[in-house]
Chain A
Amino acid sequence: MENTNASHHILKALRSGSERTQREVYEANRDKFLNFAKRYALSEEDVIDVYQDAYIIFYNNIVSGKLEVLTSSISTYLFSIGKNLIMDRLRKQKRQLKTNDYTHLVQDETSDLSALDLEPEALSEEQELLRTHFGTLGKKCQEILTLFYYRGFTISEILEFSDYNSENVIKSQKSRCLKTLRELIKSNTI
């Protein structure tokens, strides 16, 4: 569908972290999503919140490499992810659906959703602790670890992207950052 050059460029730009593209794609699909979500008994505020969460999940699938090629339009992915989130929310609110659920129509269009993460990940206690301490690391550490663990950059890609001099410097910097993080956690637990 959107599996054209244009969508290839969009994916590439999103994966590399372009905030401009992030915003453009968000805005381009916003009205469609709000319209799609109208059939559910959610307030507009909730729907926008869901749209943002769906967008983040979609985005994370691109960054993690789980979504490498679009086989449907971006909005179809957002609808499918959003539908799950809406169901969760409605279940929590113990409300009935306003009308029939038409979203199976949407799901049929998207063949490879099974490979994707559709839900936000709930952090374990340990992960939550890591998140807190990660935020106290120096900027350079946060950057290098984010590039490696989140964006999936290889060391040589990080070298291209940053102002480090060699791969070895990056490797030892990364090890040092991990060590610092360990120590921070140790000194703060128990």
Chain B
Amino acid sequence: MNKDDLLYKYFSNSLTLKETQTFNELLEQDAAFKAQFEFEKNLKSAIKETESRKLKARLKEVEQDLANTTIKPGKTRFNYQMFAVAASIVVFLGWFGYNTLFGLNYNRLYQDNYKTYPNTVYSITRGDANNSLERAAFVAYEAEDYKQAVATFKEIEQTNKASYISFYMGQTYLELENLEAAKTMFEKVIETEKDFVPEAHWYLALTYLKLKNKTQAKVQLNTLVNTYTYNKEKALEILDRLD
């Protein structure tokens, strides 16, 4: 192996153990070899510095960019923009895909918008001595034991016709996927013209979505949007999609 090859292998980190020995011997004994080695080693450092300076210049440009795209220096608007762009692409592609490839995906619309309504009417406190049916029903509801809840709500309904009972029964039926029963309950709430009427329109619309009844879903959403503020934005969004 000649001296050039040894140097080549040194700089590409591929000297074998034996070659390393030869290499070290040459360094000690051969002044010309040593000079050539020093020259290349120095060149390596010089190039590293050249590249480091180039990188430094690039990083300074990055900082400049960051400062320009940010309202307040140093913070996160860049990320928000990226996120917004990414999100709108996802929404667009997602929607575009569903509409063109599969037609309207009712189930998806339902799932995107459906959230179980929280218990806002009956406060359950620990150690509560009240063993009323109503308490039992809401305990079951909060525990997501909807079968138990619906059984108890049915009993309550015999004597208590308040709209919130119907509303939570509707919720419970939705959870149990008894859509016709849910529909009846939400319609009852709307008839009372008392509490939970806008909410009932919203959930009735979702029920219709799940039943793939576009016309009726739109009727409910339009009523909601035109009369109430509850979930107005979401309703408008769905209406947009349904058109």
Cβ contact within 8 Å between B49 and A26: no
Cβ contact within 8 Å between B48 and A60: yes
Q: Contacts A60-B48, A148-B11; is A127 near B55 (CB within 8 Å)?
A: no
Cβ contact within 8 Å between A23 and B62: yes
B93 within 8 A of A: no
Q: Tell me the residues in window 7-57 of chain A with beta carbons closer than 8 Å to chain B beta carbons.
A: 19, 22-23, 26-27, 30-31, 34, 44, 48, 52-53, 55-56
B58 within 8 A of A: yes
Cβ contact within 8 Å between A27 and B66: yes
| Distance to closest chain A CB from B15 (angstroms) | 13
Cβ contact within 8 Å between B13 and A152: yes
Chain A contact surface mostly: helix
Which of B11, B12, B51, B62 lies in contact with A26, CB distance below 8 A? Answer: B62
Cβ contact within 8 Å between B49 and A123: yes
> How far apart sit A131 and B49, CA to CA, in the bound complex (Å)?
8
Cβ contact within 8 Å between A134 and B58: no
A155 within 8 A of B: yes
Residues of A within 8 A of B98 (CB): none
Cβ contact within 8 Å between A145 and B43: yes
> How far apart sit A59 and B55, CA to CA, in the bound complex (Å)?
9
Residues of B within 8 A of A101 (CB): none
Nearest-neighbor residue (CB-CB) of A34 within chain B: B74
> How far apart sit A60 and B54, CA to CA, in the bound complex (Å)?
12
Cβ contact within 8 Å between A126 and B48: no
Q: Contacts A131-B46, A146-B51, A154-B14; is A182 near B39 (CB within 8 Å)?
A: yes
Q: Contacts A126-B42, A130-B43; is A155 near B49 (CB within 8 Å)?
A: no
B59 within 8 A of A: yes
Which of A56, A124, A128, A148 lies in contact with B55, CB distance below 8 A? Answer: A56
Cβ contact within 8 Å between A134 and B59: no
Cβ contact within 8 Å between B52 and A56: yes
Q: Tell me the residues in window 135-155 of chain A with beta carbons closer than 8 Å to chain B beta carbons.
A: 135, 145-146, 148-150, 152-155
Residues of A within 8 A of B55 (CB): 22, 55-56, 59
Cβ contact within 8 Å between B42 and A52: no
Give a binary string over B102-118; 1 marks a CB under 8 Å from any A CB, 0 the rest: 00000000000000000
Cβ contact within 8 Å between B48 and A121: yes
> How far apart sit A70 and B122, CA to CA, in the bound complex (Å)?
55
| Distance to closest chain B CB from A141 (angstroms) | 11
Counting from the closest, the 8 A-B pairs by CB-CB distance are A130-B46, A131-B46, A149-B44, A52-B59, A150-B47, A127-B42, A154-B12, A127-B45
- Could you show 6 A-B contacts with beta carbons less than 8 Å apart? A123-B49, A126-B42, A134-B43, A146-B51, A149-B40, A155-B8
B residues whose Cβ falls under 8 Å from a Cβ of A: 4, 8, 11-14, 39-40, 42-52, 55-56, 58-60, 62-63, 66, 74, 76, 78
